[in-house]
Structure 1
């Protein structure tokens, strides 16, 4: 049941990303091109996502636990630290340069386009590099 539910949620997400144009890097880059061929349509996509999330969290979190898990897995930290701010900046810069974010790139893998595979490879390399840096930092602080 969990696998089927995950598949259906991913399918809905991927179709939504595709319909909204978020899997098209040209459309995304035009959203960031304020002085040229600016396309504000993605602001409506993001606004709709924010509204859905805002309302969805209020509805779902009224329940004592999720349907397919023992408990909700919510963040416990609320502070802003350097890794969070730096990661957000790298994410935004990468999105502006490549025209892809992970949510848009993964469904776009189905297009078979080389640039999508290159982006996802770079994304995975960045994830592994960040994890390696975290291990090194943890080892240094443990030995100090």
Structure 2
């Protein structure tokens, strides 16, 4: 795929790829919610359209942020997993969650609460490490 970047700025180039409405949401769904299959993504609360999901998953795969393989017991179902490059997005997601917790509660009082948010508030690095460890443990269990 031929990528179109607006300029040579690293920040802007990252936004060109990751700054659309769905890219980081899909990564978050995998990392935090354990989504792995097309059906998992479609059934999520974020309600992404199937055509958009297909395009975004393909782009994430081309960028080597996710891999696609077949489920061992169902060769018709694709399974998507974060690569090390995908896991490197964890601190970005943590910073977005931290900002949201600090700045959006007044306008969105239903934002998540609980132990996870408490850890996020106390120690962002520990929160990010816990997300990555949990994801990696899950992937070791479900590996082909």
Q: Report the TM-score when normalising by structure 1.
A: 0.31
The structure that is strand-richer by fraction is 2
Which is bigger in relative contact order (C-alpha 8 A, separation at least 6)? Answer: 1
Higher CA-based Rg: 1
